[in-house]
Chain A
C-alpha cells in the first residue's frame, strides 16, 4: 500500500496574505494524527485547504491522496475520494432536512440509489449512538441548532458518510462534558469500527482519551514547528506553546 495522505511543502494564501508556509505532513491509512497550535496558527486553514476550499489559493507544494495529486481538485471530488472535514463552524442550510441532505450526499458519494427503509434504519442507529433526538432528522440542517448540536450533526455526517480520512476541526470546542463523551464515542466508532484515518485539531486532550494517537504535529504561524508521538499532546497540555513561540522570535 502506497502512502495515504501526503502533503509536501504546501504554501497557501488568502487575500494576498500567506497563511501556510511549506507545510509537510504524512498520514498512513488507519492512523490518527493530532494537530495542535495556538489560535490563528493556520490549523483551520490547513483543514480547509486539504478539503479544497476555494477561499485559499495554493501557491506552492502538493497534496497527494492515495497516490493521486489532488492539489487542484474541487471539494466534491475530494469528498468522493473519501476525504471529510468536520467544520469548526458548520453552515446552516435552510430548506434541506438532515435526513434528505444525508441521503442526497450518500447517493452522490456512492453513485447508487439508497433504499429509504435501509437508510432510515441506519440513520436511527447512528443518531442513537450520538444521543440525538430522532426529531432532528426532519429539521433543516444546522438551522437553529445550538453550537453543540451543530458539532454533533457533523459527527452524524461523519458516521453516515463513512469517509476514509476525517479532519476534525475543533469538534470538541463548546461542548459540555457529556457531549464531549458522546462525540468521543462517535469518533472512536469511526476509528475502530470503520477503520477510518483521522487528523484531529483540538485544544483539549479529553477527546483523545479513548483514541490511539499515532502522531502529533504542532503548527505555529503557518509552519510545522514540532512533531512527535502522543506524548507531545501531554507536553503541550502542561507547558503550552511558549517554547515554540520563543523559537520563532529568535
Chain B
C-alpha cells in the first residue's frame, strides 16, 4: 500500500522526532459522506427557533458546482496539504455542499453525519459575504451510527471565504467510535475585518488527523480557535494549526485543551506565521494538557515564524498530572477517585462548550460524556 505524508508543519528546517508530518495509507474515496443538513431560522423574537430540512428541497446547493470559482477554491489553502487535496480531487464523484450567507444576513446551518462505511468524503464550501454572520455546526457522531462503522475512513474538507466584515463560526464535534480514520481539513481566507472562529471537540476516535489554516489576509482580520479533546487507549490525534498573518493588525488566538488517558497519542503543531508586512499583528497559542496516566505520548511543536519585526507572538503551555497529593486533596473534600478523574476531564470540554455557547451542541457532547 502506498503511503502519503500530510498535516505538515510549516517551516522546512524543522525535522526532529518525526513530528513534521504524519504518514497515512493512501486510498481513494468511494462515495460522499452521508448526512443531514438543516438550516436554522430565527423567527420572530419569543417564538423560538424553527427548523426546516432543506436537504431534499434543493434549497442548499449540493452538486459538483461550488459557489467558489476555480481560483477561489485553491486560494483557500489546506492545512493537511497537497497530498490530501489530491486524494479528494481524484474522486470525481465527490460532491460539494455550498453554504452561503449573503451580505448582511444571519445564517445558521447544522449538519449531522452518522453512518459511514468504506471511504467517504465530504466537501464543504462556506462563503460568508460582506458583514454577514454565519454559523455552521458539523457533527460527526459514530455513536448514533445505525450500522457498524468498522474500517470506515472519512475525508472532510471545509473551504472558507470570509469577505469584509463577515463573521463566521465553524463548530465541529467528533464523537469517535469504530471509524478507522478521520482526515479533517480547514482552509480559510479572511478579508478586511473578517472574523473566523473554529471550535472543535474530539472525544475518542481511533485516528484523527485535523488541521486548520487561517490566512489572515485583510487588515484587522482575526482568527480564534478553541479546541478540546479527550482520547485514550490506541487513539491518536494529530493536530496542525496554522495562523498566517498577512494583513496588518491581524490577530490570532489558538487555545487547545485536552485530556490524555492511558495509551493515547497526541501531537499538536501550532504555528503562528508572521509574513513580512503584517505589522501590528498579534498571534498567540496556548495549550493545556492533562495527563491521566503515565503511559501516554504527548507531543507539541509550537512554532513562531517571524518575517516581520513589529509583531507579538506568544506560546504558553501547561501540563497537568494527577498525582497522589492532588488526588488526596480532592478526595478529602468528599469526591471519590472516579469522579475526580471525570470532573477534571470534563472541565476541559466544558470550557470549550462554554465558548461554543449552544444548547444542542452541549446536549450532544454531554450525552457522549455521560455514556463514557
Task: Find out whether the CB atom of B329 lies under 8 angstroms from the CB atom of A95.
Answer: no
Which residues between 5 and 56 of chain A lie within 8 Å of chain B, taking CB atoms? 51-55
Residue of A nearest to B337 (CB): A76
Asked whether B27 is an interface residue with its Cβ less than 8 Å from the other chain, the reply is no
Q: Which of A52, A75, A90, A157 has the most CB of B within 10 A?
A: A75
B interface list, Cβ under 8 A from A: 257, 288, 290, 318, 320, 324-326, 328-337, 339, 343-344, 347-348, 351
Identify which of B329, B343, B344 contacts A87 (C-beta below 8 A): B329
Report B-chain residues with C-beta under 8 Å of the C-beta of A76: 331-332, 334-337
Known: A55-B324, A94-B318, A95-B288. A108 touches B334 (CB 8 A): yes
Given B320, B329, B330, which contacts A94 in the complex, CB threshold below 8 Å?
B320
Q: With A95-B320, A96-B344 as given contacts, are A109 and B334 in contact (CB-CB < 8 Å)?
A: yes
A114 at the interface (CB under 8 A from B): no
- Type the 1/0 row for A73-113, where 1 means its CB is closer than 8 Å to any CB of B: 01110111000110100110111100011001100110000
- Provide 7 A-B residue pairs closer than 8 Å at the C-beta atoms, listed in order of the A residue: A54-B324, A55-B328, A75-B331, A76-B334, A84-B332, A87-B329, A95-B320
On whether A161 and B320 interact (CB within 8 A), knowing A54-B328, A91-B326, A95-B288, the answer reads no
Check A161 against B334 for contact (C-beta < 8 Å): yes
Assembly CA distance A18 to B261 (angstroms) = 36
Choose among A91, A93, A95, A105 the residue that contacts B334 (Cβ–Cβ < 8 A): A105
- Residues on the A chain within 8 Å of B290, using CB: 95
| CA gap between A89 and B140 in the complex, in Å | 44
- Nearest chain B CB to A28 CB, angstrom units: 23
Q: Within the assembled complex, what's the spacing in Å between the Cα atoms of A71 and B320? A: 31
Question: A95 to B335, alpha carbons, bound, how many Å?
Answer: 16
A75 to B157, CA, bound (A): 50
Contact: B320 with A75, CB < 8 Å? no
* Nearest-neighbor residue (CB-CB) of B332 within chain A: A75
Residues of chain A within 8 A (CB-CB) of B348 are 95
Q: Which of B257, B318, B343 contacts A96 (CB 8 A)?
A: B343
Contacts of B331 in A (CB 8 A): 52, 74-76, 79
Binary interface profile of A, 165-205, with partner B (CB < 8 Å = 1, else 0)? 00000000000000000000000000000000000000000
Residues of A close to B257: CB separation below 8 A: 95
Residue of A nearest to B330 (CB): A93
Q: How far is the CA of A224 from the CA of B290 in the complex (A)?
A: 42
Q: What residues of chain A have their CB less than 8 Å away from a CB belonging to chain B?
A: 51-55, 74-76, 78-80, 84-85, 87, 90-91, 93-96, 100-101, 104-105, 108-109, 157, 161
Cβ contact within 8 Å between B343 and A104: yes
**B326 with A93: CB separation less than 8 A:** yes
Interchain CB contact under 8 A, A95 and B344: yes
Q: Which residues of chain B are within 8 angstroms of A95 by Cβ–Cβ distance? A: 257, 288, 290, 320, 344, 347-348, 351
Report the bound CA distance from A157 to B334 in whole Å. Answer: 12
The reply to whether B333 and A79 contact each other, CB–CB distance below 8 Å, is yes
Question: Which A residues touch B344, using CB under 8 A?
Answer: 95-96
> Which residues of chain B are within 8 angstroms of A104 by Cβ–Cβ distance?
335, 339, 343
Who on chain A is nearest to B257 by CB? A95
Q: Is the CB of A53 within 8 A of B328?
A: yes
CB-CB under 8 A from B330, the residues of chain A are 93
Task: Given A54-B324, A55-B324, check contact A93 B351 (CB 8 Å).
Answer: no
Chain A residues with Cβ below 8 Å from B337 are 76
Q: Given A95-B290, A95-B351, answer yes or no on A108-B320 (Cβ-Cβ < 8 Å).
A: no
What is the bound-complex CA distance between A53 and B330, given in angstroms?
11
Cβ contact within 8 Å between A51 and B320: no
Taking a contact as CB atoms under 8 Å apart, the answer to whether B339 and A108 are in contact is: yes
| Chain A neighbourhood of B343, CB < 8 A | 96, 104
Nearest Cβ distance between residue A162 and chain B, in whole angstroms? Answer: 11
- Bound Cα distance A161, B343 (Å): 18
Q: Which residues of A contact B339 (CB under 8 A)?
A: 104, 108
Residues of B within 8 A of A85 (CB): 332
Q: Taking the nearest CB of chain B, how far is it from the CB of A190, in angstroms?
A: 16
A18-B348 Cα distance, complex, nearest whole Å: 41
A79 nearest in chain B by CB position: B334
CA distance A62 to B328 in the complex (A): 20
CB-defined contacts of A54 to chain B, threshold 8 Å: 324, 328
Contacts of A84 in B (CB 8 A): 332-333
How far apart are the CA atoms of A87 and B329 in the complex, in Å? 8
Shortest beta-carbon distance, A229 to chain B, in Å? 30
Give the shortest distance, in Å, between A70 (CB) and chain B (any CB). Answer: 13
B329 adjacent to A105 (CB under 8 Å) = no
Bound Cα distance A74, B336 (Å): 9
With A and B bound together, what is the CA distance between A52 and B329 in angstroms?
A: 10
Q: Which residues of A contact B326 (CB under 8 A)?
A: 91, 93
Distance A105 CA – B332 CA, assembled complex (angstroms):
10
**Within the assembled complex, what's the spacing in Å between the Cα atoms of A156 and B333?**
12
A100 to chain B, nearest CB (A): 7
Known contacts A54-B324, A104-B339; decide if A96 and B332 are in contact (CB<8 Å): no
CA distance A52 to B337 in the complex (A): 14
Closest to A74 in B: B331
